[in-house]
Chain A
Amino acid sequence: MKILLLVLGLLLGTVDGGKTTERPPLPLEKPAGSGVIVHHDGYVLTAHHVVANAKRITIVTPGEFRAPAVLVSVDVEHDLALLKVETVGLSEAPLGYAGEVKLDQEVIAVGFQFGLRETTITRGHVVAVRTRGVQRVFQVDAAVNPGNSGGAIFNRQGEVVGILTTKFTHPSGIVPEGMAFAVPISYATPLLANIPDFDFSAIGKTRKESKKGKGHGDPVLEMARTSVRIETIRMSEPPAVQSQSAALRSGQPSVPRAPASVARPNEGAGEEAIDRVNAQLQADQQEAMKRLLDQGLTPLPGMMLIPAGEFLMGMEDGLPDARPLHRLYLSAYWIDQLGVTNGQYRVCVDGGSCLPPKVRVAFDDPQLEQRPVTDVTWMQARTYCQWAGKRLPTEAEWEKAARGTDGRRYSWGNSDEVIQKSRATLTDGKASANGVEPVGMPLSARSPYGVSGMIGLVSEWVKDWYAEDFYRASPTRDPQGPLRGTFRVLRGGSWMERPLELRAGYRGWDEMTYWGPTLGFRCATDAP
Chain B
Amino acid sequence: MRRRLPRMLACLLIGGGLTAIPPTVGFEQSGRSSLPFHTVLELEQTARLLAVLLDSGRAVINDNQMVLEGSQGKGLTPEAFERQLVDMFRGRAGIDLHELDDTVLAPRTKRLLRALVETSRQVIADLRRDLQPQDAGFTGFIPAVFGARVSARFTDHTGVRLKQTSLTPRNPANRPDAYERGALEAFADSAYPRETVISEMTADSASFRLMFPLYATRHCLDCHGEPKGVVDRMGYPREGLVLGQNAGAISVLLPVKP
Contact = CB atoms under 8 A, between A and B. Distances in A.
B217 interface: yes
Contacts of A125: 203
B2 A105 contact: no
A513 B33 CA distance: 43
Where chain B touches its partner, the secondary structure class is: mixed
Given A102-B34, A486-B244, 6 more contacts: A99-B37, A127-B202, A127-B203, A127-B204, A486-B194, A508-B2
16 contacts: A99-B37, A99-B38, A102-B36, A104-B34, A125-B203, A126-B203, A130-B201, A132-B196, A133-B196, A139-B202, A173-B182, A173-B185, A466-B194, A485-B195, A508-B2, A512-B91
In the complex, the 3 A-B pairs of residues with the closest C-beta atoms, listed nearest first: A171-B182, A99-B38, A128-B202
B7 to A, nearest CB: 9
A486 B215 contact: yes
Interface string A512-528: 11101110000000000
Interface string B201-235: 11110000010000101100000000000000000
Nearest to B199: A131
Contacts of A454: none
Interface of A: 98-105, 125-134, 138-139, 169, 171-173, 184, 379, 459, 465-469, 482, 484-487, 490, 508-514, 516-518
A157 to B, nearest CB: 15
Interface string B157-196: 0000000000000000000000100110110000111111
Contacts of A513: 59, 62-63
A466 B244 CA distance: 10
B179 A171 contact: yes
Contacts of B4: 516-518
Contact of B200 (A130, A485, A510): A130
A517 B44 CA distance: 41
A433 to B, nearest CB: 14
A513 B87 CA distance: 12
B30 to A, nearest CB: 14
B5 interface: yes
Most central of A127, A134, A514 by chain B CB within 10 Å:
A514
B129 interface: no
B200 A467 contact: no
Nearest to B195: A484
A103 B202 contact: yes
A392 to B, nearest CB: 13
B216 to A, nearest CB: 9
B2 A103 contact: no
A486 B37 contact: no
B35 A102 contact: yes
Interface string B75-97: 00000000000000001100000
Contacts of B59: 513
Contacts of A105: 34
Given A98-B37, A128-B200, A509 B1 contact: yes
A482 B194 CA distance: 9
Contact of B37 (A101, A173, A518): A101
A131 B198 contact: yes
B202 to A, nearest CB: 4
A134 B193 CA distance: 8
A128 B202 CA distance: 4
B218 A514 contact: yes
B44 A131 contact: yes
Interface string B232-246: 000000000000100
B32 interface: yes
Contacts of B196: 132-134
A482 B94 CA distance: 13
Most central of B2, B59, B185, B197 by chain A CB within 10 Å:
B2
Contact of B199 (A127, A130, A485): A130
Contacts of B36: 99-102
A383 B83 CA distance: 17
Contacts of B183: 171
A126 B33 CA distance: 11
B193 A103 contact: no
B34 A508 contact: no
A510 B2 contact: yes
Nearest to B48: A131
A467 B199 contact: no
A181 to B, nearest CB: 12
Contact of B198 (A103, A139, A171, A379): A171
A484 B197 CA distance: 11
A100 B198 contact: no
A453 B34 CA distance: 60
A103 B205 CA distance: 10
A99 B39 CA distance: 8
A173 B192 CA distance: 13
A132 B212 CA distance: 11
B40 interface: yes
Interface in B7-51: 32-38, 40-41, 44
B2 A486 contact: no
A132 B40 contact: no
